[in-house]
Structure 1
């Protein structure tokens, strides 16, 4: 029997690449979008879902289960980027980021867990970020929201293991997607104390995305996780140095690692 997969944020970027890859492998794939009618080129069906709206989440999950009778894999992929000096990011934007990157995935997991518990099987893959392993300058909110999701996953994994449900994190580095155009950028304020360093860092971040890895690498990694009998707690996907930075953070004294980051970002 083909596994039924639900991918949040499946209309573009990494989510779309994962959905197309799994569709080609014979999975029954459903993606989500806040406005699925506006997406004309999807090879798999899209259902309406806004991760900031609990009723929207429950309706989408109920639709998939009513159509297929089961739900085997949830890929919590929907997320948004955010950049800026913490002092200058509006609090409303910080809250919106956590609603999308942290509270939203929690509500989607809550919506699918009863079905998976009934089936006595299921897999949840939370798409986090290598940025969630460290506090990055001018990406403080993004690092925090993704890091929080990593820790929630670690805890929930232990809570549901006895039900036959597996939960794992997959943390991508920089991939060549449209995330840069969709994220919130705190504006460069003329005369601000952060104008020059933030401007330099913002340009560097956009260049990293433009030259990022192929999203199909992420899709292949997710496929391998689904095929695994015992998924690990953490996976990292991306350029070698981005993954190696996590190792360096663990091994080096804090002040040394901080100096490396500041030199990298020319701060």
Structure 2
């Protein structure tokens, strides 16, 4: 029996790399993607060129995978980008770029694999979102919005795909020790900005959370559990207890009480 084929966008580093290496040890045939695959000659699994913001590269990537194997059994939409800053001061071009990467890109990758999965009469799509997508976080509002939108898109997609035996779900990580902070777009802390003090302090807090985050291999283990589940749930969360519990608190607390908790957490 041929091993199941997994395609991971953003598979060259961080969480995507951890997922790919872990699944490969479990017997899966893994393909990752990167905008610059030549930068990763030592990757333990093939890295194919793909930029989720360029639809033509998505189509080329899918064709290349299918030229090597006959199926794509699992798509893991992991490629994403961070963005921070006061919403008032983030350039519109950067807001649009973030949504191109975190929302429109994953949608286009899904659309590209669906014909193959429909022909197979099976398939699984796992969208890597974020616990930040469950709440509007100060100075991370654009990131929260793009990841939250992907959560909702998944809910709608699932119902549309049920007739084709294609499953879809979200996995929302909290903070993990990866290089995401270095790859974020950071709106500059402007000397004359009314947000200078609060944004500057919050930026340091966010980077500290990532630096002290959990082992990304935990995400890989959770991915394997989802893949081996016959009927996956819609939403999964992974991360520190309090990060996951913050979603529960948002559901049960009055809005203003929850808002106050967040502001206290970020010392606002």
TM-score of the aligned structures, taking structure 1 as reference length? 0.99
Q: Where does residue 76 of structure 1 map in the other structure? A: 77
Q: Where does residue 31 of structure 1 map in the other structure? A: 32
CA offset digits 1:119-155 (Å, max 9, x no partner): 0000000000000000000000000000000000000
State the Cα distance separating 1:65 from its structure 2 match.
1.2
Q: Where does residue 247 of structure 2 map in the other structure? A: 246
Structure 2 distance, partners of 1:37, 1:179, is 20
Q: Secondary structure at the match of 1:168?
A: strand
Structure 1 distance, partners of 2:159, 2:245, is 27
Structure 2 distance, partners of 1:83, 1:105, is 20
- Count of residue pairs the alignment pairs up: 267
Alignment of 1:175-194 (within 5 A): 175-194=176-195
Q: Where does residue 201 of structure 1 map in the other structure? A: 202
1:168 and 2:160 correspond = no
State the Cα distance separating 1:46 from its structure 2 match.
0.6
CA offset digits 1:13-70 (Å, max 9, x no partner): 0000000000111100000000101112210001100000001001101111121011
Q: Give the unaligned 5+ runs of structure 2.
A: none
1:145 and 2:158 correspond = no
Structure 1 distance, partners of 2:56, 2:193, is 41
Q: Where does residue 122 of structure 2 map in the other structure? A: 121
RMSD: 0.5
Q: Secondary structure at the match of 1:126?
A: strand
Q: Give the unaligned 5+ runs of structure 1.
A: none
Structure 2 distance, partners of 1:175, 1:40, is 25
Q: Where does residue 42 of structure 2 map in the other structure? A: 41
Structure 1 distance, partners of 2:107, 2:237, is 21
Q: Which runs of 4+ in 1 moved over 2 A?
A: none
Q: Secondary structure at the match of 1:32?
A: strand
Q: Where does residue 220 of structure 1 map in the other structure? A: 221
State the Cα distance separating 1:191 from its structure 2 match.
2.5
Q: Secondary structure at the match of 2:194?
A: coil
Of the structure 1 ranges 63-72 and 126-135, higher mean CA displacement relative to structure 2 is found in 63-72
TM-score of the aligned structures, taking structure 2 as reference length? 0.99
Q: Where does residue 156 of structure 1 map in the other structure? A: 157
